[in-house]
Amino acid sequence: MHPTPTTRAVLAPVTTILTPAERVRVDAAGEGLYTAMHRDSIDDVVRDLKERHAAAVLVSVTRCGPRDAPRVAMLVREFPRVPTVALLTDLESNAPSAVLTLGRSGIQTLVDVRQPSGWRRLRDVLLADQSRDINRLALAQLSADLMGVHPDCWRFFEVLFGLPGGVGTVRSLARHLGVIPSTLMSRFFRAKLPAPKRYLAMGRLVRAAQLYENPGLSIANVANRLDYSSPQSFGRHVRGLIQLTAVEFRQKYDGEGMLQRFRDDLVLPFLPTLREFSPLSSSLHRVSDC
């Protein structure tokens, strides 16, 4: 049975700088796909990126003129992993100049919605970027690594990377899997696999590494987003797992690099065992009961 990656139906919120009329149309176009958080300044947008986990930025060609260009350029530079999309709804006299200004600020995607097909393109642009989310990349790579594993085994990795925001504790993981935490840990131990807690901890570092690709996010921002009690707690977590400081970790790994480390440490060396491992059902738990 070949595992297939979990898909997520709804994007995280999109933060915007739009005209009042554009706000109404963007809300209507995004129904069932995203929630727009409408703002009046770049500072508010940056706050959304740091504190509200915004997945994309949508800026109006009409609203962002030459005086806004330096702040827009800062936004694009500080948050390269978050797509910033320019929206063209009307061709006013200053629109061509504004489009060029936004382009010089680093925005590479312009969506023209003066025709109905433009709204479909806007949705496609946002969904295409979603496909680069590290959780989706992880599931896609692991589905190839774990071809033919028992569905119980795949379910473990699917929950690990398939839930929005991930899971932070073995208790929470066990609840999603429908198994008692002590039973789950015992089955990994008897199969001579790394502990579930280590899979969880390394999975969090994969997500942290991709977040750190955005220079605008501080160590404190990332620690808070991943539900560590403090930046110091995050630093101890990193040092205990991979013997690096938080700063060294940020310098050494991007999201895909840390995903490769996850595979090298926790998946590829254990493939023969994982292919026979059924952690959720004792009647199917072939490795630990043999």
- Residue spans of the domains in the chain: they are 14-130, 134-289
Q: What are phi and psi of 146, to 5 degrees?
A: -105, 30
Measured CA to CA in angstroms, residue 129 lies from 80, 124, 159 at distances of 12, 9, 22
pLDDT for 229 equals 86
Phi, psi of 37 (to 5 degrees): -110, 105
pLDDT digits (tens, 9 = 90+) for 136-186: 889 989 999 999 899 999 999 999 998 766 777 899 899 988 899 999 999
38-52, 118-132, 163-177, 217-231: the lowest-pLDDT one: 118-132
Which is nearest to 134 in space by CA: 69, 220, 226, 63?
A: 226
Does residue 114 have a pLDDT over 50? Answer: yes
pLDDT of 202 over the 60 cut? yes
Backbone angles phi, psi at 17, to 5 degrees: -130, 100
Residue carrying structure tokens 């947008």: 45
Q: How far apart are CA 59 and CA 40, in angstroms?
A: 10
Instruction: Report the distance separating Cα 182 and Cα 161, nearest Å.
Output: 21
* Reported confidence tier of residue 65, pLDDT bands at 50, 70, 90: confident
Q: How confident is the model at residue 283 (pLDDT cuts 50, 70, 90)?
A: very low
What pLDDT is attached to residue 128? 67
* 259 Cβ neighbours under 8 A, 6+ residues apart: 134, 137, 138, 141, 206, 209
Architecture of the domain made up of 14-130:
3-Layer(aba) Sandwich (3.40)
Comparing 21-25, 101-105, 155-159, 194-198, the range with the smallest average pLDDT is 101-105
Q: Are 54 and 126 in contact (CB under 8 A)?
A: no
- Sign for the CA dihedral angle at 182, 183, 184, 185 comes to positive
Which helix or strand (DSSP H or E) is residue 37 part of? strand 36-38
Given a contact cutoff of 8 angstroms between Cβ atoms, the answer to whether 62 and 19 are in contact is yes
* CA 140 distance to own-chain centroid: 14
State the amino acid at position 277 in one-letter form: F
Q: Which fold has domain 134-289?
A: Arc Repressor Mutant, subunit A (1.10.10)
pLDDT at 280: 85
Q: What are phi and psi of 26, to 5 degrees?
A: -65, -40
Average pLDDT, the chain: 86
For residues 78, 205, 164 and 180, what is the CA-based torsion angle, rounded to 10 degrees?
-170
Which one has a higher pLDDT value, 283 or 196? 196
First to last CA, the chain: 22
Distance CA 20, CA 229 (A): 39
Segment 263-267 mean pLDDT: 97
